Amino acid sequence: MLNNKKIRIMTKLALYEQNEGKEDIKLGKYYKTDYVRLQVLKTVVCVTIAYLLILLMIGMYKAEYIISKLVTFNFVRIGQYLLGFYIMTMAVFITGSIIGYSLKYDNSRKSLSKYYKSLKKLSSFYQEEKVNG
């Protein structure tokens, strides 16, 4: 005979595994600090590449001006501005990624705990079936 409670639990578990559960299960393999550090490292690499690409595009756009004024530029001052802006940009993105990925990890763990409770409930249904015959 079909057990409706067991069918509901199995359906909920299957839906969870097919949708947001895929990513939550992957996140469950990490410790929080390891996951956040990995994501911050990815953020640092991406922001650095994006910053360099933006500088390259600005340099290409202003190439004629840069070439004509190359002798009169104060390269130390320009380097200080670029480095300062890079550090400020990096600080904003690192802070945002730490906060964002920490929240994402915490929400994932909450969802996973509900998932594991449902799995335990399903397991208890199977244990009852073994005992009852």
Condensed to tens digits (0 to 9), the pLDDT of residues 36-59 reads 999 999 999 999 999 999 999 999
Would you state the pLDDT for residue 99? 96
The residues, ordered by sequence, that sit 6+ positions from 49 with a Cβ below 8 Å of its Cβ are none
- What angle do helix axes 75-132 and 4-18 make, rounded to 10 degrees? 160
pTM as predicted: 0.74
- For residue 133, the model assigns a pLDDT of 59
| Per-residue pLDDT at 2 | 64
> Cα–Cα distance between 80 and 86 in angstroms, integer?
10
Question: What pLDDT is recorded for position 96?
Answer: 96
Report, as ranges of residue numbers, the positions in the chain whose pLDDT lies below 70.
1-2, 133
